[in-house]
């Protein structure tokens, strides 16, 4: 007589069900993949839109000659592609004999409007006498400076531009004789600045409108 005690039948096999199209997990996974693809495409598109543009390596002033040695390459992406036309792409050969019409700061992209042929860019030599205490000792020929003007008008009230406003910006010092070669007796130091004709006219107009003008030199860089 046979006995079935201690024996058991194996449980029935359970097959993994293939998720149906209504399974929420399937849709969540598909959404994650789609978002990843779109984000990657946008990142690649942004990288492809960037261009290499010439920028100024250090502060330069009005009248300075611009050569390739004065420039560095910057990777830039313009929101408006038309903006590229106002600068110099790094793959474009720079015109020879370029001169600055205005000061350009270190790291700033070189605008086409800020340069011209040296023959067409007239630089005036403007002499100024400044209290020696208001000129940084490091200022010398080649320094790029801003000139601030303070003072009161003939009527005794602060004039336009007389509240510490920069009357010259980004101009190059052409000559900077030491104090003992200039106005040592008066305590003033003479500087000769390279400026454009319009800048010179504005400088004299604002200085002339003050009863007791005071100039302060601020060195860039």
Mean predicted confidence (pLDDT) in 116-123? 73
From the candidate CATH numbers 3.90.1210, 1.20.1440, 3.40.630, 3.90.120, the one assigned to the domain spanning 51-120:
3.90.1210
Q: What is the pLDDT of residue 40?
A: 61
Residue 144 near residue 59 (C-beta atoms within 8 A): yes
* Residue 79: Cβ within 10 Å count: 7
Inform me whether the pLDDT recorded for 23 exceeds 80: no
Mean predicted confidence (pLDDT) in 30-48? 62
Inform me whether the pLDDT recorded for 3 exceeds 80: no
Cα diameter, the chain: 136
Task: Name the pLDDT band for 53 (thresholds 50, 70, 90).
Answer: very high
**Residue recorded with tokens 């490091």:** 138
3-state SS assignment for residue 113:
helix
Mean predicted confidence (pLDDT) in 31-46? 64
Residue ranges covered by each domain of the chain: 51-120, 124-219
Residue 100 near residue 64 (C-beta atoms within 8 A): yes
């Amino acid at each position: 007589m046979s006995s079935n005690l201690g024996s058991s039948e194996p449980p029935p096999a359970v097959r993994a069900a293939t998720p149906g199209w209504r399974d929420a997990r399937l849709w969540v996974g598909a959404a994650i993949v789609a978002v990843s693809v779109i984000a990657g495409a946008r990142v690649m598109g942004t990288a492809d839109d960037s261009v290499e543009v010439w920028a100024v390596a250090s502060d330069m002033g009005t009248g300075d000659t611009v050569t390739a040695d004065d420039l560095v390459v910057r990777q830039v992406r313009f929101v408006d592609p038309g903006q590229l036309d106002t600068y110099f792409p790094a793959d474009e050969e720079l015109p020879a004999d370029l001169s600055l019409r205005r000061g350009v700061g270190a790291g700033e992209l070189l605008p086409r409007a800020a340069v011209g042929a040296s023959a067409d860019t007239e630089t005036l030599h403007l002499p100024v006498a400044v209290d020696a205490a208001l000129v940084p000792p490091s200022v010398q020929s080649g320094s790029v400076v801003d000139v601030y003007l303070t003072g009161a008008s003939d009527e005794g009230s602060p004039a336009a531009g007389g509240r510490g406003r920069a009357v010259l910006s980004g101009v190059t010092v052409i000559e900077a004789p030491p104090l003992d070669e200039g106005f040592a007796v008066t305590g003033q130091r003479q500087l000769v600045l390279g400026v454009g004709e319009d800048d010179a006219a504005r400088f004299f107009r604002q200085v002339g409108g003050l009863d007791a003008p005071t100039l302060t030199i601020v060195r860039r860089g």
